[in-house]
Amino acid sequence: MIEINHSCTCNGNPLVPQVCRITDIRSETGDVKTFRAQTLDGKRPFLPMPGQLGMWSMPGIGEAMFSITAFGEDWIESSIKSVGELTEAMHELSVGDFVGLRGPYGNGFPADALKGSDILFIGGGIGAAPVRSLIRWCALHREQYGRFDIVCGARTIDDVPFREDFFENWPSMDNTEVHITVDRKTDNWDGSVAFIPDYVETLALPPENRKVVMCGPSIMIRLTTERLAKLGFARGDIITSMETRMKCGIGKCGRCNIGSKYVCLDGPVFTLTELDELPAE
């Protein structure tokens, strides 16, 4: 039997969203926007742990699950790429508009278990969003963690999201190095041009007392894992966050299963060892 020890705090019925108001919208890249929301009485909709998910909805259009990338005293935010009906509609929203929110869902990153370790964070494209939530969390308790290496990969430098964090906040953090690499060179970039797997290999960070937190497209995860293995990283020390279609968020509707595990409930965060134990769908 599988134990579940987290709960949805937003209101009595985990399937009914609460109405929230958009308080800020930032354009991250050409097709990614970050939406900040709070309840109508000015409170934080719920307290998410890093890596947990929130179900955003637009009444009349639909619902979809996104990683909560950051939160403050009275807000939470998600970074959303325009790919489908709902996300396209969300990109049309303005500050002051209404959305529905329910959550938080999923297990989130094992922030406590990572204490004392050096961490290599890797975010590919929009995959930087869940990673960001963990970096922000760890930054609050910076002294409890070891060295941070933060790798951000994007198609071009213009596709790098969270520019303030990557270029200002995080480089100035203690014992932290930020690495930006892009797939394609443009005139406004003279830094690294390399795919994440290659780049991570050249970084050649030693695996001792180091964990990897990696999110991005599945092909990137697979190739980077191969390179990390070359460097001596154990699969149990590589943590990733899964993405798949979800409807209910509470492990009932059946859609997001991999074997007997539900991504929305038992995930989205798994170590590669945990994923290895699941059927290879």
- Which residue is associated with the tokens 């609460």? 18
**Listed ranges 54-62, 205-213, 232-240, 268-276: which one lies at the site for another protein (CB under 8 A):** 54-62
Q: Does 191 bind another protein (CB under 8 A)?
A: no
In the complex, least distance from residue 227 CB atom to another protein, rounded to whole angstroms: 24
Q: Does 14 bind another protein (CB under 8 A)?
A: yes
102 vs 179, beta carbon nearer another protein: 102
Q: Binding mask 231-270 vs another protein (x if CB under 8 A, - otherwise)?
A: -------------xx-xx-xxxxxx-x-xx----x-----
In the complex, least distance from residue 254 CB atom to another protein, rounded to whole angstroms: 3
In the complex, least distance from residue 197 CB atom to another protein, rounded to whole angstroms: 21
Question: CB neighbours of 75 closer than 8 A, spacing ≥ 6?
Answer: 23, 24, 36, 37, 38, 44
Q: Does 219 bind another protein (CB under 8 A)?
A: no
185 vs 252, beta carbon nearer another protein: 252
Sign of CA dihedral 28, 141, 267, 77: negative
50 vs 106, beta carbon nearer another protein: 106
- DSSP string of 147-212, one letter each residue: -EEEEEEESSGGG---HHIIIIITTTSTTEEEEEEESS--TT--SEE--HHHHHHHH----TTEEE
- DSSP string of 19-75, one letter each residue: EEEEEEEEE-SSSEEEEEEEETTS--S--PPTT-EEEEEETTTEEEEEE--EEETTE
In the complex, least distance from residue 246 CB atom to another protein, rounded to whole angstroms: 10
β-strand pairing of 18-27 with 98-105: antiparallel
Residues that bind another protein (CB under 8 A): 1-2, 4, 7-8, 12-19, 57, 59-64, 83-87, 98, 100, 244-245, 247-248, 250-255, 257, 259-260, 265, 279-281
